[in-house]
Structure 1
Amino acid sequence: MSKEVSKKISVLLVDSDLKGLRELQRYMIHDQRLELAQPCKSGRGALSFLKHKKVDLIILNPALPDANGFDLIASLPDPPATIIVADRKDYAYFAYRIQAIDYLLKPLSVGELDQAISRIITQINLVKEVKILRAKLA
């Protein structure tokens, strides 16, 4: 794998629940594969950030006070990989509709989060590798 493919994955955390946001930030500190691009407590903050920066992954609690997280992802022209973290099982259908890579229920299990991150990193790196190979062939 090339250096381009193996670099850290940039992550935008979006959760209005401060406890949940802190928990995700603590996880990211210990995971050397990830780089925290920005923690956001609101949909408005996330959209503002995404207007100026691209990320590889969004970890999102869709229950935001100022926005529907699923609508937020659906509004992006080229949405990054997404993991939904929620305390409601009935959000799973909406996660499927926005093509979220994974859906985790709160309270989060570190093992489940680690597995989800590993799957996404594999997928992101494969997509990057394909782009690099296509560019070489062009």
Structure 2
Amino acid sequence: MRIVIVEDEQLAADKLVELIRAYDPASTIVACLDSVADTVAWLSTHAAPDLLFLDIHLADGLGFEIFAQTAVPCPVVFTTAFDQYAIQAFRVNSIDYLLKPLTPRAVADAFRKYEALRRTLAPAPPATIDYLRLLDELRASEARYKARFLVRAGQRIKTIAAAEVAYFFAEDKYTYLVTGAGPRYVVDFTLDDLEERLDPALFFRLNRKFLASLPAIHEIHAYFKGRLKLTLSPPVDAEVLVSSERAAPFKSWLDR
């Protein structure tokens, strides 16, 4: 089997190569590409591979842009750290959608789907898809999540990117933003507002007082009655507990 990998993170690409070879040592990785432009050029000048593993977030754009620029005449397995693109992925010729970090089981399942498809189906004519409209929808879905916050630091006003936020917490009728570097700032949002505005793949509502990003979760301990006790980074004086009702969704969020 001839396989092309499109992945802009070298460690992730190396891991995927390892997983592919572990499942099917006879397969051949004919190209490892890292951008939309390189992939379009490769597909335009080479024979079609049997299978394409395609990361969605690439350095020069979304992997979906490839479909708008050239024919992709083979089944595609999408790989991504986020789950917000699943619907769009299956509107193109995708057979699977794998969330990072990739596992041997996930890659094996993708191969089994490919093998089942090859055995049972004749090649289908290419679907007529408005790729430009699809890309517009993707960009709009990305834009709906809040990307930055305007905060006051003394007499200055500054912006803080959502990616810099460790967690938010509510105290005495105020909501505070805490960065990974430690400083905290008052923001004009309730935690309920923030829960709706922030990307749920990146932030989780721990309880009534805390909304945290994944990098802020430093330690997790089992606690009484099915609850979880967390240590956040930067440290916080208050006890941070996840209720027994939210423990399972929290673990699922961590394990994406």
Q: TM-score, normalised by structure 2?
A: 0.44
**Aligned AA (1:110):** P
Alpha-carbon shift at residue 67 of structure 1 (Å): 2.7
Aligned to 2:14: 22
User: Which runs of 5 or more structure 1 residues have no equivalent in the other structure?
Assistant: 1-8, 132-138
Aligned residue-pair number: 121
Aligned-residue identity in percent? 22
Structure 1 length-normalised TM: 0.78
User: Structure 1 runs of 4+ off > 3 angstroms?
Assistant: none
Q: Which has the higher contact order (CA 8 A, sep 6+)?
A: 1
Cα distance in 1, alignment partners of residues 114 and 3 from structure 2: 11
Structure number with the higher strand fraction is 2
Q: 3-state SS of the aligned residue for 1:97?
A: coil
Q: Secondary structure at the match of 2:110?
A: helix
1:27-85 per-residue CA deviation (whole Å, 9 max, x = no partner) reads 23332352211011111111111112111111011101113201213433353100001
| Cα shift at 1:124 | 2.8
How has the CA–CA distance of structure 1 residues 59 and 78 changed in structure 2, closer, same or farther, with 3 Å as cutoff?
closer
CA contact (8 A) 1:63 1:69 kept: yes
Equivalent position of 2:91 in the other structure: 97
Partner residue of 1:134?
none
Query: Alignment partner for residue 51 of structure 1, among 6, 20, 44?
Result: 44
Greater Rg by CA: 2
Richer in helix (by share) = 1
The 5 A counterparts of 1:50-89 are 50-53=43-46, 54-89=48-83
